[in-house]
Structure 1
Amino acid sequence: MRIGELAERAGTTTRTLRYYESIGLLPARRTGNGYRAYDEDDLRLVRQIRTLQDFGFGLEETRPFVECLRSGHPDGDSCPASLEVYRRKLAELDDCIARLSDVRRQVGAQLARAEQARAALEAAATVPGGAPEPRCELTPYDPSYDPSASDVAAETTPRG
């Protein structure tokens, strides 16, 4: 199959396939007239790369899986190097989950403190003699207001 068909069947673009070729992940055989030629094994290889990328693996992390497939294994998961990449990725994910859990706990604690402070303000505002709720008074905007004109008016007004 040609590159366009491989891209379509693998759910990617020809540009991506050319990039995979340039970094050595996807070998390209050439026909007599110079076209790239691919087979079902190449399709399986590209699908393996895409699946791993969907899981968050970087392209370099897919290399052991690609090499496993190229060496004749029925899937890229069965080689020791692939298993090691899975183990490292799981450890990385566990670390990320732990950090996110810690951040979640901190945000929850901050929310609880903020809610307590808000409740205390509301309680103080409703108790006689308690602290009054802060108020803001807004003066409507008057586009005809000219501050320099009011200064002139104050200076020219006779004082009595």
Structure 2
Amino acid sequence: MFSTSGASLAYNVNPVADQFQLLTSTFCNRLYCFFNKRWFFDQVLNDFLLRAFLRFGYSVSFAALDKGAIEILGPYGVSYTFRGLAERISQLQSGFVYHYAFAMLLGSTPFVTFSRMWDSLSSWVDSRSCFILIVTSLSINKSSK
């Protein structure tokens, strides 16, 4: 507010000051020297006010949100989930071919069934409740581990 008012005052007074020759008087010369010197207002403002706001903004928005919640829900959370899922699936490997064939048959049967019967099942099943069922089953499996 003070910077804007000072800039507008300087812009409006500067053309008028040449006509009146204000700097030749002793009072105006002292006033000019007072305002022309550096009184470290910007240093006080930076050290006491702005630096505290910048530290607060860093700790809240960057450290808590960007490095915290967004990374946990985003790339690190997804990679951690898939790493755990891959470890669980790798424990199921036995090395026998008939186990793999049974697992493929077991996985493809519900997929084929629901994809072929979706037109008749869609009137009975709400897709939102299916999503909630899948999410809760994944979270129950994760919490029981």
The normalised TM-score by structure 2 is: 0.31
Which of the pair has the greater relative contact order for Cα pairs under 8 Å at 6+ separation? 1
The normalised TM-score by structure 1 is: 0.29
